[in-house]
Amino acid sequence: MGNDGIASHRPVSQSLFERATQLFPGGVNSPVRAFKSVGGTPVFLHSGSGAYVQDVDGNRYLDFVGSWGPLIFGHADPDVVAAIVAAASSGTSFGASTAREIDLAERIRLAVPSIDRMRFVSSGTEATMSALRLARGFTGRPKFIKIDGGYHGHADALLASAGSGILTLGIPGSAGVTPGAVADTIVVPFNDLEAMEAAFEAPENKGQIAAIIVEPIPGNMGLVLPRPAYLPKLRSLCDLHGALLIFDEVITGFRVARGGAQELFGARPDLTCLGKVVGGGLPLGVYGGRSEVMAAVAPEGGVYQAGTLSGNPVAVAAGIATLKKLDEAAYRMLEMLGGMLEDGVARVIRRSGVPARIQRIGSAFTIFFTDIEVKDLASAKQADVARYGRFFNAMLDRGFYLPPAQLEAAFISLAHTPEDVESFVVAAKEIFPKL
């Protein structure tokens, strides 16, 4: 892998981190990059090609982060890079409509039938924030339900965590988020239909809930799978109570299947939020859904949302190049690689006796250091964070780059090979007995 197994052989990263701490809070521009939950100095990456990244010290790593999911063809895919270069040479930003926006939107609509019309934005946070505002504006209701541990970006109302009890109004999940900002946020556990029904039936919520917003397959408490009846039941509860169902498929859209989690589980949301893959690795988000709901967005309706960089021509070009290549053969290959990794890691876990499990769907997975099924945030929190930190650093020293946090999903790309996956399993086999 180009590494010698000694973590201290990253002196340039160490020097850059010391400089960065003078410029950025925690030395980083997004918290998980700080390696706080795994220990050690953050790796500063210099370049990426295919399934590999290289740091500023010249160490090469087999990458299972993939910019947190969008790089489904790996780093610097030639077709995506060519599309970016061609678009940029014609102008990087106009703040005006372009023909490419229509091309990408038609491709998205063809793949995700629940989306009649959509609006492009610049990030997943913008998409979820805008979809929630739209749901409130369309229904005329103030409250909404989110999942405890579900992450939908850093908008104030969505940074709520659960208080005591099985069902609760949200409490601020971050300093700077006021109680008023989350006063209309109801937080319930994932996979808990009893709590979801109770939220709708509570007297103070009757006729007040605009929407449920949910990651159909959560990826920010580690990868957690919905129970078979869960998502269809959310659909029926929303229909019964006149609320909208919002699927946050920023991670799962075009990743777990061409039509996302809603294709896999047969549940049709009113609104869908997309990101990651649809931007081909560049900043782009989408929210869209039923035509009559989208008609409430300005300039057709009274729900205001705007953005100078929305539908940025370079990001749109990268998205088109990516979606063009995502055919059925691509998903068959991703499933094969994912299954191979899952089977190999599961064997390693069984033979080592270490309390751990791998949870996977398609090309997304998490290795949890707990022997109980992870079905919600409470069970995810049972995972041994310190043991994951040891695993992470041992794998890093052997040339494998994983998410620097236990409760995050990892990703396989189409640039990975069966040999890459086997090398991952062999490294894990060496490490597990020492954890």
In a 13 Å sphere around the CA of 398, the CA atoms on its Cβ side amount to 17
- Find the angle CA(314)-CA(214)-CA(195) to the nearest 5 degrees: 170
* DSSP annotation of 222: S
Strand intervals (E) in 108-193:
117-121, 143-147, 160-161, 168-169, 171-172, 185-188
Give the DSSP H or E segment for 286.
Answer: strand 285-289
Contacts of 188 (CB under 8 A, 6+ apart): 145, 146, 147, 148, 162, 166, 167, 195, 196, 198, 199
**Strand, helix or coil for residue 392:** helix
29 phi and psi angles, rounded to 5 deg: -110, 10
Give the DSSP H or E segment for 274.
Answer: strand 271-274
Tell me the CA distances in angstroms from 6 to 171, 304, 393, one per residue in order.
43, 53, 10
The radius of gyration computed from the CA coordinates of the chain, to the nearest angstrom, equals: 21
Contacts of 239 (CB under 8 A, 6+ apart): none
Contacts of 92 (CB under 8 A, 6+ apart): 312, 313, 314
| 429 counts as catalytic | no
| 151 counts as catalytic | yes
Q: Amino acid identity, residue 295?
A: A
Contacts of 346 (CB under 8 A, 6+ apart): 357, 358
Structural tokens at position 201:
């039936």
The answer, yes or no, to whether the previous bond of 216 is cis (omega within 30 of 0) is: no
In a 13 Å sphere around the CA of 305, the CA atoms on its Cβ side amount to 27
The single residue of 143, 146, 276, 375 carrying the catalytic annotation is 276
Q: Amino acid identity, residue 232?
A: P
| 248 counts as catalytic | yes
The single residue of 55, 63, 192, 248 carrying the catalytic annotation is 248
Helix%, strand%, coil% for the chain, nearest 5: 40, 15, 40
The single residue of 52, 61, 151, 331 carrying the catalytic annotation is 151
Measured CA to CA, the distance from residue 358 to residue 371 in angstroms comes to 10
Structural tokens at position 200:
């709708």
Tell me the catalytic residues.
Answer: 151, 248, 276
